[in-house]
Amino acid sequence: MKPGGRQLLGLVLAIFGVLGSIISCALPTWRSPEWRKSEGLWKSCNFDYSYYPRPTTECKSYDSLLALPQDLQAARVLIVIAIIVGIFGVMVGVVGGNCTNLVSNTRKNSKVAIASGIIFIISGVLVLIPVCWTTITIAHESYNEEYRMGAALHIGWVSVGLLILGGSLLCSSRPLKKETSYDVKYSQPPSV
């Protein structure tokens, strides 16, 4: 695959990873302590399935930060930082892409693409930490109660994969070899 195509594919995958982390942050389904209840980063929801054609959902924000479990408190901070870092990576990737003329030199273009790849990998690790922590917490708490992983965690796992894969593709676009503009001339040996 050509370096320009690799950069474009990496940038598209990373953009989808950033969008997935935004969706994962917004969804109120990080974990389900009961069958009719779910907890998210910003609110908890109760589902009422007694109304058959159309079940009702009642969501409310947390009363205080202390009402939120410790893993979800840390996940709030890390996911928001990961989204900010990911958006910065998108901006750097668009500026340094081969499809734009914002950077004049192709060697500098490749370096900017590598920098955006590193930023996307950092964003992926920042999403990976809360997703893993919440998954491990759910696994430990499921012995005592019926805890299940919610849809936001599954979207978070996919986002981690897309961010790291896209960042790796961007990092694999090496800069071109430095070409010299001058000719090398050797002096002739003296005759005997």
∠ CA 88-150-63, rounded to 5°: 80
In tens, the pLDDT along 137-153 reads 888 876 666 778 888 89
Residue 10 has pLDDT above 80, yes or no: yes
- Check residue 16 and give its pLDDT: 95
Q: What pLDDT band is residue 175 in, cutting at 50, 70 and 90?
A: low
Considering the domain 3-32+64-171 in this protein, what is its CATH number?
A: 1.20.140.150
In tens, the pLDDT along 35-92 reads 778 888 888 888 776 666 666 777 788 777 777 778 888 888 999 999 999 999 999 8
Domain parsing of the chain, residue ranges: 3-32+64-171
